[in-house]
Structure 1
Amino acid sequence: MNYLSEYRARLTRLNVNAQTIAGRKLESPYKPALLLAVMEGVEEQVIRDNRIAITPELIVAFKAYCQLLSPGPEYGARPFQLPFFHLQSSGFWHLQARPGCELVLTASKSVRSFGHLRDVIAYASLDAPLWELLLQPVAREELRQALLARYFPLTRHYFRPQAGQEKLEALGRQMLEEPAAVYNRVVDVADETEVLVRSAVFGREVLRAYESTCAVSGLQLLSTTGTAPLLDACHIVPWSVSHDDTIGNGLSLCPNLHRAFDRHLFWVDEDYRVRVADGFGELGGHDYGVQRFNGAQLRLPKVRTWWPKVENLAAQRSY
């Protein structure tokens, strides 16, 4: 059976919404843009198996392709949850519910919000033959060009195959280089997908700046499997208060020290020295506690502009 011909035909017959504006028929770009984002994830090895999770990388790529290829401003909302849910009508996109949410998924005709999608859906998967095609560079490119020709005939020349990765890198540079005041003017804190993406990029850039080393203990931890990092990227002033994800509001900490910092069991003074709070004692396990770091110099990034802002450290002490 010629699976490439079959899926090329199915990908170009997606059920997409259309509207006529000024005598011109415009089709919703969301489903094909999501498929282009999946292809990028496979190509960049961000998606490694046939379990397409709701990740910051996928969201950013989807939004990037919507922005590049959309036929007009009418499709500027870029609601990630809608194509992720409704692509199941294609027959080759299958949703896997989280444990205990199977009935909710079966009964749902749509999703209320991005948060609802994440609560109910664990991941999506593709038909096995289609997944195998996406693993093959030549077949993947043929399917990608079929999507571009069918859904984006007027804008396909704007397509860039790594648009999502470019956007993530740009966000990382923004966090490292821009003042918090500039950042606060551009981030949309009401957009759940935006907050998720910014949080992920913040974590990546903080750990990169500190070379995956705990700023207090000096323990360097690297994941050799490419999975979740073993250290935490900690907001000095909580995100809920500051909405500040610039590098000057970040620290790299071991999980236990992250919790101690958030609970004000220690703080950092203006000379970047650890100061343990009064009023608590360690009954045992002193080699693994907080008290032994009292007076220790913080381990700071090599780039001076990436150091924690003194005003953020002072604000953290005041809460």
Structure 2
Amino acid sequence: MPDHRQRVWHSGRVGVDPVERLLALQQYRHNGARVPHKPLLVLLALQKLATTGSSDLAWSEAEDRLAGLIAEFGPTTKTSRPQSAAYPFTRLRADGVWALSVDVPDDLVTPLRETDVHGRLDPAIDAALIQDPRRLEGVVRSLVDAQFPSTIAPDVLLAVGFDPELLAPGLAAVTPEERKRSVAWRDAIVRAWDGACAFCGYDGSLGGAPVGIEAAHVRWFKVGGPDELDNGLALCSLHHKLFDRGALGLSPDARVQVSEHFRASGVGKQVYDLHGRELRPRPGAQLPAPVHVEWHRTQVFRGDPLAA
């Protein structure tokens, strides 16, 4: 087996604090499309660092895991699984935080397989984070927090191999979020739907306050979704999660859609009953705008809806 310690590692720019470069990593977007490939690769590398002391990842080790994460937490595409993983594994070099053991072309799967390519975070990042586990945890939290809504972030951490408790309120993120959520928006959305889930009608309360009812963005706040009344729904905790995971969606005529990929064999079959249900907010309240519904359909909803 080749000795990877003797290889020349080809990485990106230098001269900036390495951990700050990692925190500045931005999800690539094109015309509003979500492409969380790079953050997911970095999270895999950080998990390897946390468990072994090195972020070194062989392509043979990363290919299936990274492709699986992209398929689960990214938008549905026609790109092959290996190709979807090759994109971040090669292109993350340009962000100055990633290095490859062999200088292969971008995006090509075959060279990654044939030349036994390894990737790793900048050694300075490894050194800084392995010496300070709390800072490593903070970086993980910041990356997940910046890319995914709170309904999905724990699932991402668990899938990568981190403890979802990293998202506990007591552990602060390393960098503050630039955009602040509007508490007034949350209250206005819940009122617009009479404190009830827009999908199932659940309207539980305790002491006069709704319990288990949440304000859900149709277009995610994390990717520029506005705190506007036409970009929100009141949903119970369960249906908020299913909506953000793409099991539930909306049709152009404001009806609930259930993904063909959703499966249930017990009580979960009740979700099927939501398919085709018309949204009915309080009179005078706004339905989600078509532009946000279309974004959710292309960037979050899984596959096609169930047959009518």
Q: For the superposition of Structure 1 and Structure 2, which TM-score range results when normalised by the shorter chain?
A: 0.3 to 0.5
Q: Which of 1 and 2 has greater Rg?
A: 1
Normalising to structure 2: TM-score of the pair? 0.39
Higher helix share: 1
